[in-house]
Structure 1
Amino acid sequence: MSVVITEGLQRHVITLRDVQAAAAKALSAMPNLDILIWKDEYSLHKGLFEKIVRCSARHFELDGVVIDDAWSLAPPLTPSTWPLRSLKLDVFLAKYGYERSKLEGEARTHAITVFFSTLFRPCSSTLESLIWSDSEGIEDDDVLLSIGETAMVFPRLKYLRLQWIKLDSVAISSFLGAPLKSLELDEIVLPSRSISNCEPLRDLEDFTVSHPPKNRSACRRIAKFISKQTGLRKLYLQETFEGTKYLDDIILPTLTSYDFGNLASLHLVWGKIRIPGKSLQMIARLGSLEQLSLSAGRPCDGRYFWEIDHNRIRHHLSPLQRLTKLAFSHDVYPCVNGTPQSACYYPYHLRPKPVEEATVELLTRFERKHRNRMLHQAEKYAVIFPKLEWMFCGQRPMGFIRTPGRQDGLPKAVLLSKERDEHYTYRETIFRGSRLYGYPRKSTEE
């Protein structure tokens, strides 16, 4: 059973308190409650939090929650143990509390540390998944969030995502000391030397950099960290068009200089208009790859467009004989009407309203020609990669039918959707993984 609690604008604070109290009382009457998502625009007071943490939920989300003070979450406010299995955390002090601590000459991290250290301690032994972000954002580079002065042990933590949050070395070391299987970091936490200097994470399988770094020193630290994780199975990295370029001369040389024999999935996004042949050649040396996602392109009207050359890609990537999934995004092609701007290739609206009959016919003709073009390209890839089962290009997902009795003996590509679509969520599930965005399934050990 799961509950989502969201409070909108209220006319009076008293009314809001009544609503919060009623919600907390309702939680105590739900013995089978498993998932609790608390999203509230108003500050969470100490008495209410005491009731929340005592409910039966094992998967807990505090979504943009403001606390009125950095209370200590110790008995009797909270139980000595809090058997959470997953926690999604986006919590910050109320503005007035932050301003008061500044006037008193305190660093904000000192105030909030009391809350975080006592929050993690009672659930550290059972926590399996943690997403920790700071939507408020910390502008002062010298201010770090902490979980306390001494390291904590997280013996079951396997899925960790840190976003928009600056942590001190104690917090980072505590989390990296866990038996992590999936790790997602961004440019805020990556510059920490605690990341690049950590020991190899022997259980780590998936690594994602959610936001590209802004300077080359951070890029080198990413490469240094990756070089120690040779057991990785899935890697997800990207550049931005105006950001630091680090895939060609930092990341790919690292991947080809070490033995990444377990690497089965690779997602790379270039922040420029094309992917160099040298980079494609380095990718082709990663013979263990079973699924590959590539993208590039320049921005145009809020979108990115990559004038892809399929013949060139097939030529360079042909050694990847284990591929079962292949995806290209932002790819465009010479326009049907001869317009030189490939950015105009895709119609913005498939069925604009109102439309004339001639326009509908034109769009229908475009979609038919584009569909056939993508099917033809997919079949060419299936010839090069005999194990290919799924492909995405031209905003069309496709599968393959291999019929021994077919006259030409070639695989036949088939569409898996009725219309063009980016299928972003599905592709993210394949190449990025989904465990961090949901709740872990019940452990077989229980």
Structure 2
Amino acid sequence: MTNTVNKHSNFLNLFMPMFSGIGKDEYGQKSQIYKPLSFDRLTEGRPVRSNAPIFGLPVELINEILKHVPDRSLSHFALVSWTCCQLARSRQFVSVKFDFSNRTLAIASKLARESLERKNTGKTKQPALGTCIRRISVATNPEWISHRHDFDLQSLADLDPDLKEQKLKRASSEYYDLYLPSLEAIISQGLPHLEAIHWCDTVPMSKSLFTAFVNSQVRELTLLRVFIEEEFTIERSDVSNEQLKIKWPLRHLKLEIRATAFLPNRVSSEPLCKSLLSLCAPTLTHLNWSMGIGQSQLSFEDIDPGQQPIFSALRELRLYSLVLTDNSIPLALMPRTQCRLHTLCVDGRAGPLDAFFQERGTISSLQHLSLSWLSEAEYPLNGYYTFLRTNPQLTKLDLSGPLAAGFIDKRVVPLLKTFNRLKSLCLKWQNQLLQDEFIGSIDERSLHEVGQLSSLEQLHLSTGVQIGWRHNWIIDHEALIKHFSSLSHLKLLAFSRDTYDLEVPEFDADSYYEDKWTNRQIAALTHGRHALTSDEVWEMEHQDRMLTQATKYFADFRKLEWLYFGQLPMIPTGKSRKARPAAKGGRDDCYTYLNTTFGWPYEGS
């Protein structure tokens, strides 16, 4: 049992935002859309008690008609009958986000009652809300904690210790003793058609909660930055007898799990990870596995040969910041025979893996390879290079992180001429020391060789500092246009972390986006009836400069459909192919969009 101090410290994690090191990231954001259940599954075998003509139609037509009922009309439609209510709820509650709001607490309360009824009688008396839900996310909004318990981090720090203890005890008890157990019961019994769980609350996860996951029929499970306070495994004996007859149908797993830092002796998450992966290995198609800094080492070596998990269905694999003691885990995930991986993403800190890749050889099914944070100072890179050289069939290559200039310029770029099927390429160079100063730069010879890869349809280049306000790659667009003139099939082109030298005394190009220096020496301009601030003037000037330059790219690359530099996504318009912003939001780091388009394509449910 967690002591009071640890419990309160863990609870306060819910107030902590995650530092990303990036700025605005809104462009191209898309949420996965889950379709409502078909009418026949919603009724759970109950006879339809309605004279409405619609219910005399085939199920397929009922489903199609419901799509055309406006959202604003669903609440009225639900009042017609229980059957109509269930149809309306199948749209309204297909995906539910538990953010600790009054609304979601009320939903949780109803689902908990339904769960108890199912447990006692096997089904609910009335059509159940839980039947309609296909996806849930658990992402507590700290503002609701503040609203309900009248404190935030700042006000809490200023309180008398006794009052602080009292408020924390009341708030954490509501969360740990009431809220989490209700969610556990709901997942175990109350959601018969649940397909996806997205868990974002950074709180201790109990064995019983993981057992609830395994008991469910979820196909997608995302656990973000969760942790445990005791070592445990999830054995098949923990699963109900009925569930033993059915394989856990999990297909997508994103696992970010670690031990809490508040315990004097850190516990290992290895037993849990091994048992969890063993249970889902037969059906798993996507695995995204990462660990926290300071985690225990991982291995499958101590598993009996006959009990080793076999990942025969695995198609996409990402390993991030794992500490591996041997090659048993990568061998299980990427076996030498019958490996059907399509996409592989490896972080250089998930190692040492260099020796494994030195011997692994060709994975004939592999189409997309992403390698990041490879450092010759920490590990040799001969194995990674050998693996890359033996897989020239790749259509998509992402080398980001960034990587040492010598590794890219002298080894990777010359090798790429043998990659005849390559359609997508992302390269990021590390800072280079020049005259006692770190700068972002790309060797002209490398640019020329990249420009000879005529099969490319999309290209993303970057160099220099990759997070924060500083941008030290002074980009030369004229040189880039010249080097890439042979890339006649380019459709998408991106340059990120670029900056511009205005050649003005005392102007520092590194802080181009931070200082927002404008050559119009007035504080504001009158534009229509609205006065523009100096920042707004700078944004207009910057956008004009970028669009002027982008129009040159669109004129020279006739198939180019999308372009990104100067933190601005742009597209061509009309026969003249004049550039315009791709969205109304202005500048955007486009981190998610760039990563999804040029790098790792899967980020969980």
> Which interval holds the TM-score relative to the shorter structure?
0.7 to 0.9
One-letter code aligned to 1:279: S
Contact 1:69 1:94 survives alignment (8 Å): no
Give the distance between the partners of 1:54 and 1:67, measured in 2 at CA: 19
Q: Is the 8 A contact 2:398 2:425 kept in 1?
A: yes
Aligned-pair CA distance for 1:414: 2.3
Q: 1:227 to 1:65 in 2, by over 3 A?
A: same
Task: Give the Cα separation in 1 of the matches to 2:139 and 2:184.
Answer: 13
1:71: Cα distance to partner?
A: 3.2
Question: What is the CA-CA distance between 1:277 and the residue it aligns to?
Answer: 0.8
More helix by share: 2
Whole-angstrom CA distance in 1 between matches of 2:453 and 2:565: 22
* Matching residue of 1:444: none
What's the counterpart of residue 274 of structure 2? 117
Alpha-carbon distance in 2 for matches of 1:188, 1:287: 33
Which stretches in structure 1 are left out of the alignment for 5+ residues? Answer: 102-107, 404-409, 440-446
Distance 1:166 1:334 in 2: 42
**Mean Cα deviation higher: 164-173 or 188-197:** 188-197
Match status 1:85 vs 2:251: yes
Match for residue 401 of structure 1? 573
- 8 Å CA contact 2:517–2:538 kept in 1: the answer is no
Deviation at 1:72, TM superposition (A): 3.7
- Number of the residue aligned with 2:495: 328
- 1:131 aligned to 288, 304, 313, which one? 288
Distance of aligned partners of 1:37 and 1:426 in 2 relative to their CA distance in 1, 3 Å threshold: closer
Task: Work out the percentage of aligned pairs sharing the same amino acid.
Answer: 28
Contact 1:207–1:232, Cα closer than 8 Å, also in 2: yes
2:136 is the counterpart of 1:3: yes
1:185 paired residue number: 346
* 1:45-67 per-position Cα deviation (integer Å, ceiling 9, x unaligned): 43443233212322112333334
Q: Taking structure 1 as reference, are residues 402 and 93 closer, same or farther at Cα in structure 2, changes over 3 Å only?
A: closer
Counterpart CA distance in 2 for 1:261 and 1:233 is: 8
Kept in 1: contact 2:222–2:604 (CA 8 A): no
How far apart are 1:285 and its partner, in Å? Answer: 2.4
Deviation at 1:357, TM superposition (A): 3.1
Taking the TM superposition and a 5 Å limit, the aligned residue runs for 1:25-36 are: 25-27=185-187, 28-36=189-197
- Equivalent pairs counted in the alignment come to 414
2:427 aligned to which of 260, 268, 275: 268
Residue 66, structure 1, aligned to residue 207, structure 2: no
Amino acid at match of 1:426: Y
Instruction: Provide the aligned C-alpha RMSD in A.
Output: 3.3
Higher RCO (CA < 8 A, seq sep 6+): 2
| SS of aligned partner of 2:352 | coil
Aligned pair partner of 1:169 in 310, 327, 330: 327
- The 1:316–1:36 alpha-carbon spacing in structure 2 relative to 1, beyond 3 Å, is same
Q: Sort the Cα spacing of 1:238 and 1:14 in 2 relative to 1 into closer, same or farther, 3 A.
A: closer
Alignment partner, residue 184 of structure 2: 24
Equivalent position of 1:221 in the other structure:
383
2:534 maps to 1:383:
no
Whether 1:203 aligns to 2:362 is: no
Q: 2-side partners of 1:373 and 1:356: how far apart?
A: 20
Query: Aligned to 1:286, what secondary structure does the other structure show?
Result: coil
Aligned residue in 2 for 1:104: none
Q: What is the Cα deviation at residue 202 of structure 1?
A: 1.4
Task: Tell me, yes or no, if the aligned pair for 1:245 and 1:271 is still in contact at 8 Å.
Answer: no
Between the aligned partners of 2:266 and 2:550, the Cα distance in structure 1 is: 62
Distance 1:4 1:296, change over 3 A: same
* AA partner of residue 367 (structure 1): E
Normalised by the length of structure 1, the TM-score is 0.81
Bigger CA radius of gyration: 2
Deviating more after overlay: 338-347 vs 425-434: 338-347
Once the two structures are superposed, what CA deviation does each residue of 1:129-168 show, in whole Å capped at 9, x if it has no partner?
1111112433x7xx33437354432122111111111233
Do 2:470 and 2:511's aligned partners in 1 also have CA atoms closer than 8 Å?
no
Q: CA offsets, 1:263-285, max 9 Å, x none?
A: 11111112232111111122122
Equivalent residue for 2:3? none
Using the alignment, how far apart are the partners of 1:301 and 1:46 within structure 2? Answer: 39
Contact 1:325–1:388 (Cα < 8 Å) also in 2: yes
Alignment of 1:48-67 (within 5 A): 48-67=209-228
Between the aligned partners of 1:299 and 1:438, the Cα distance in structure 2 is 24
What is the SS of the residue equivalent to 2:381?
helix
Amino acid at match of 1:5: V
SS of the equivalent of 2:182 reads: helix
User: Could you tell me how far 1:250 is from its partner in structure 2?
Assistant: 2.1
Please tell me whether residue 373 in structure 1 is matched to residue 545 in structure 2.
yes
TM-superposed deviation, 1:126:
0.8
Equivalences for 1:304-343 in 2 at 5 Å? Answer: 304-335=471-502, 339-343=506-510
* Equivalent residue runs for 1:349-360 within 5 Å: 357=524, 360=532
Q: Which amino acid aligns with 2:319?
A: L
User: Aligned partner of 1:317: which letter?
Assistant: F
